[in-house]
Amino acid sequence: HYLIRSVDPVEPKLGVPDADYLLARGPFHERDERALLEKHHIDVVVSKNSGGAATYGKIAAARTLGIEVVMVRRPALPEVPSAETVEALAAMIDHFVAPDAERGV
C-alpha cells in the first residue's frame, strides 16, 4: 500500500499498486503527522530533502514511531554563467552579443 501526499494532483498516476493520494499543503505538525502515519500503517517514509523546517514534522513523527526515513537528495544544479551585479551582467551580455554596428542594427 502507498500513500502519496502532494500539493498538486499527481498526473499521470504513479505506476505503483494500491496507491492512495492525499492533497495537502504544509506545514504539518508532528502530532498530526504521527496520527497520519499510524492511521495508514506507514512503515517507511520517502521524502525529498526540501531543506526547510515546514516538513520536519513528518521526520520527527517517523523517528518517534521508529519508522525508517529515506531522504531523496536534490540533484546538483548545473554550472551556468551568473553575475552578482547589473553591471557585471551587462558586460557578460556584451561578450555574448555582437555590438549593434556589427549586427547591422
Report pLDDT digits (tens) over 8-26. Answer: 999 999 999 999 999 998 8
pLDDT for position 48: 87
Whole-angstrom Cα distance, residue 46 to residue 58?
10
88 grid coordinates: 557585471
Whole-angstrom Cα distance, residue 56 to residue 32?
12
- Overall average pLDDT of the 52-63 stretch: 88
Q: Is the pLDDT of residue 77 over 90?
A: no
Whole-angstrom Cα distance, residue 10 to residue 8?
6
Q: Is the pLDDT of residue 82 over 80?
A: yes
Q: What is the DSSP letter of 97?
A: S
Q: In the block, which residue shows the cell 544544479?
A: 77
Q: Is the pLDDT of residue 69 over 90?
A: yes
